[in-house]
Amino acid sequence: MSGYQFNKKQFKQEVTGNVKKLYRRTIEEASPKQVFQAVAYAVKDVIIDEWIATHREYEKQDAKTLYYLSMEFLMGRALGNNIINIRAEKEIREVLDELGFDLNVIEDQESDYALGNGGLGRLAACFLDSLATMGYPAYGCGIRYKYGLFKQKIENGYQVEVPDNWLKDGNPFEVRREEYAALIKFGGNVRVECDGNGRNHFIQENYQSVRAVPYDLPVVGYGNNVVNTLMVWDAEPVNTFNLDAFDKGEYHNAVEQENLAKTIVEVLYPNDNHYAGKELRLKQQYFFISASIQRAVGKYKAKHSDLHKLPEKVVFQLNDTHPTVAIPELMRILIDEEEFSWDDAWAVVTKCCAYTNHTVMAEALEKWPIELFSRLLPRIYQIVEEINRRFVEEVRRTYPGAEDKVRSMSIIYDGQVRMANLAVVGSFSVNGVAALHTEILKKRVLKDFYGMTPWKFNNKTNGITQRRFLLHGNELLADWVTGKIGDEWITDLSHIKKLALYAGDEKCQQEFRNIKYQNKLRLVRYIKENNGIDVDPRSLFDVQVKRLHEYKRQLLNILHIMYLYNMLKDDPDLDMVPRTYIFGAKAAAGYRIAKLTIKLINSVADVINNDPSIKGKIKVVFIEDYRVSNAEWIYAAADLSEQISTASREGSGTSNMKLMLNGALTIGTMDGANVEIVEEAGRENAFIFGMSADEVIAYETNGGYNPMDIFNNDQDIRRVLMQLINGSYAPENPELFRDIYNSLLNTQSTDKADTYFNLKDFRAYDEAQWQVDKAYRDEAWWAKAAILNVANSGKFSSDRTVRQYIDDIWHLDKVEVSL
C-alpha cells in the first residue's frame, strides 16, 4: 500500500527537534499542547511530499478536477485522522510512549475545525476523505472563518455561546498560498460601453474590493500517497490604507474596505436549516465563490487555450444553494473577461455546474431581496435577470399559457431572487440526498422543474467515512471487525457484510457486548468529568445527537421521558430496563424554542437524576458542546439510535449511519435515509414507528390536525403537557416552558399547533420504546441485531456515495500516486 517506510527513529528526532525549534524547550519540559504542535509538524513533513507528488501527478495527467463548493467543511480534528490515513498509528503511538506521552492526550489538544454547522458540513468533509482515499482529483473550496461554530457551554441549564477561536495557537497543517490571491469586487455600479464592433462591455465602477488569499489544508487519502486539498479563503484589505486615499478624500472608503475585509470571514453563521437574509452572508457567499471560480478558471487557462472546453476538465458541485452565485459568476467571467457570447457561456456553465439539495423545508430556502442582491452584486444581478428572462421565455414556449408554471419556476419573483430555482436552471444535475427525499423533490418541491427537465434529477443517498467513524472513533470494534473478516472494509465497506456470519455466534456476541461495554466505560468517564453525573454502564444507552431543530423532535424524546418518569413515580417498581438518555445538540443562537428545549432537557435531567426514589432507572445526560471529536466517543458507546424526525422533513440524516456503523439499533420514523437503513438492516432489527411521509403531507394539505383532541382524550399526555406549565420542572418560574406548551397546543395565536406532529406520534413512539425495552432484555437477540446492523451498514459509506457522484455526475478519472 503505502509507498514509504515509516521511520520511527527519524520521526522521534523530528518531534524533539520541533519542540526545541518552536518552544526552546526539551521534550521533557514540553506541555501536551506543545507536543501536539511538534507532532503535527512532524506528520506534516510526511504528508508534504505526498502532497507535492499528488499535484504533480494531477498536472501530468491533466486530470479532470472536481471543485466541491461549500460554505461549510466540518472537518473535526486533523492529527488523529492524518496519522491513521498515513498508516502510522501504531508507530507514532509507540514513539510517543517512549517519549512519555499518550497519543490520545496529544490528539485531545487540537481544536476541532468547526467550519460547519452539522450534516451538510460534515458530509462535505466525508466526501473529501473518500475522494482522496479513492484517488480522485478534487478540491474543497470554502471559507477560512476566523471563528467556527460557537462552542456551547451549559450554564444553569441554558445554552451559552462562546466564540470558537480555533486558530489562536496557529494551525500546523495549513499552508498560505499568497501567490493565488484574487480580487473580489462588491457594490458600485455597472457602466456599459459599446465598442466599434457593436459589442457591449460591462464595467463595474465605484466598487469596494477585498483580497482573497487561499490557505491549503491537506486531505490525506488512506494509505495511497494521495493528498488532496481543502482550499479555504481568507480576506485581506486590498491596500492597507495609504496617504494616497487620504489625500484624495477617500479616507472613508479606505476604512470601509479595511472593515469589509475584517468582517467578511469573521464568523460562520450558526443557522442550520434556516435561512436568514443577512447581507454579510451574501457577501461571504460571493467572496469565496468568486475567488474559487477565478482560481479554477486560472488553473485551466494555464494549460489550455480554449475555455469552451472547460467542462472537459472542470466540474463544480454546489453544496446546497449557498454557492449558487457560482453560476452567474462563471457567466460573468466568460462574457465580460473572456468575450464569450451569451449562448457559448451558458453552454459551458450548464455543463460545469451540478446542484445538491439538502432540504425540503420552506424556511431553509434562500431567497434574497432584489434590492440587496442588486446593490451588493450589480453585475451578477444583471446576469441573473438575463438568465431569468431567457428561462421564462423557454417555459412559455414549452407550456403556452401556463402562467402557474412561470410563477413556480421563475428565478426572480415577488421581489426576490430564488436561489434554488437559479441552481436548478443553471445545473446539468440536481440531486437529493436520500431516495425518499429525492422523490419528494420530484413530486412536490421541484415538481415543475422535474416535469420540464426530468433528466437532470437523480438521487445520491448520503454516506459517511468509516475511517473516521469506525477506524478512528471506535478502535476496539475496528480491531474486532478486522480480526474476523480482514481489513478490506477500511477502503471498501461492502466487505463488512461478511460479519453477518458471526451475528448468531454466542462467543462473538459476547465479544461484541464486551467491546460495547468498554466503549460505554469510556463515555461514562467523559460524562463524569464533563457533567459530574454518575452513569451506569450496564444501562441501555439511548442516544439522540444532532442539531437541535423542531423537526428533529428532541421534544418528542424529552416529553416521553417525562411520561416515563411519571409512570415510575406512580409505580417505583415498574419493570423496565435501566436507561441512560443521552442528548447532544447545539441550537442556532437566535432559535428561541430550540434553546428553550435545551433548557427543558436539562431541567428534566436535574429532577430525574436527583430523585433517588426511581432507583436510578432513568438518567438523562445532556452532553455539552457536541462536536465531531466527542461524537466519535458517543457513537461508539450507543445502544439505541434516535432518528425520530417528522416523516418527510429530514433530507437524509447522517448520524443515523454513524450510529448504525457502531452497532446501535435504530428507533425511528420512515424518514430520510432511515428508510434505506431499515431496508439494509432488516425491519426486524430496527424499531420503526409513526406517521409516514405521505400521511404527514396529507395532513398538511388538509390544514393540519388538532392536537387538542389528543390533549383532551389522553390523560397521560395531558399530564405531561400540564407539567410544562405548572412548575414541575421550573418551580421558581412555572411559566418558563409556556412557549413549548403553546407550540404544541397553541391556545392563542393563529399559527397551526404542533406543526411537527409530536403528540400525534407520541403513542406510537411509546409503543416502539417498549419494544426496545423488551428486546434489550434478550441479550443474545440484541447482540445479534447489533452485529447485523454493523454488517449491513456497507451501503452507507461515503465511498459508495462518491463513487455514484463520479459515475453519474463528475466523470473523474482515478489517479495513482507513487513516491
Contacts with ligand 26Q by CB under 6 A lie at 117-120, 123, 269, 271-273, 275-276, 281, 358-359, 364, 366, 433, 462, 650-654, 672
C-alpha cell at 540: 441501555
Shortest distance, position 170 Cβ to ligand 26Q, whole Å: 28
- Residues whose CB falls within 8 Å of the CB of residue 397, separated by 6 or more in sequence, listed in order: none
**Cβ-closest residue to ligand 26Q?**
119
Q: How far is the CB of 462 from ligand 26Q (least distance, A)?
A: 5
**How far apart, in Å, are the Cα atoms of 507 and each of 513, 520, 782, 788, 793?**
10, 20, 14, 15, 22
Answer yes or no: 552 catalytic.
yes
Q: Toward ligand 26Q, which CB reaches closer, 180 or 551? A: 551
Q: Verify whether residue 252 is a known catalytic residue.
A: no
Residue 90 is a catalytic residue: no
Out of 658, 760, 795, 800, pick the active-site residue.
658
Secondary structure class of 211 (helix, strand, coil): strand
Hey, how many other C-beta atoms are within 10 angstroms of the C-beta on 13? 13
Query: Rounded to an integer, what distance in angstroms lies between the CA atom of residue 625 and that of residue 583?
Result: 11
CA distance 468 to 303: 36
Write down the catalytic residue from 77, 295, 358, 549: 358
Closest CA to 219 of 135, 120, 102, 316: 135
Q: C-alpha angle with apex 86: 81 to 89, nearest 5 degrees?
A: 70
Q: Tell me if residue 788 falls in helix, strand or coil.
A: helix
Closest CB to ligand 26Q among residues 457, 705: 457
For the bound state, the minimum distance from the C-beta of residue 438 to ligand 26Q, rounded and expressed in Å, comes to: 12
User: Catalytic site residue 546?
Assistant: yes
User: Quick check: is 44 catalytic?
Assistant: no
Q: How far is the CB of 363 from ligand 26Q (least distance, A)?
A: 9
In the complex, the smallest distance separating the C-beta of residue 562 from ligand 26Q, rounded to whole angstroms, is: 26
Q: From the candidates 144, 367, 442, 546, give the one annotated as an active-site residue.
A: 546
**In the complex, minimum distance from the CB of residue 251 to ligand 26Q, in angstroms, rounded to a whole number:** 33
Catalytic residue among 547, 784, 795, 800: 547
Residues 6+ apart with CB under 8 A from 651: 119, 357, 358, 359, 360, 432, 433, 434, 437, 672
CB of 280 to ligand 26Q, least distance (A): 10
Q: Which of these is catalytic: 356, 654, 666, 801?
A: 654
Closer residue to ligand 26Q in complex, CB, 172/328: 328
**Environment class of 726 (CB within 10 Å of its CB; exposed 0-12, middle 13-18, buried 19+):** middle
Q: Is 805 helix (H, G, I), strand (E, B) or coil?
A: helix
Rounded Cα gap, residues 523 and 623, in angstroms: 10
Name the 3-class secondary structure at 430: strand
Select 82 or 357, whichever has its Cβ closest to ligand 26Q: 357
Residue closer to ligand 26Q by CB (options 366, 632) is 366
Q: Is residue 374 within 8 Å of residue 381, measured between CB atoms?
A: yes
Nearer to ligand 26Q, 368 or 502 (CB): 368
Q: CB nearer to ligand 26Q: give 222 or 591.
A: 591
In the complex, minimum distance from the CB of residue 207 to ligand 26Q, in angstroms, rounded to a whole number: 24
Nearer to ligand 26Q, 255 or 276 (CB): 276
26 is annotated as an active-site residue? no
Instruction: Name every residue whose Cβ is closer than 8 Å to that of residue 653 and which is 6 or more positions away in sequence.
Output: 119, 434, 462, 546, 643, 645, 671, 672, 673, 674
Closest CA to 695 of 765, 761, 767: 761
Q: Which residues contact 523 (CB under 8 A, 6 or more apart)?
A: 535, 541, 633, 634, 636, 637
Q: Which residues are catalytic?
A: 358, 546-547, 552, 654, 658
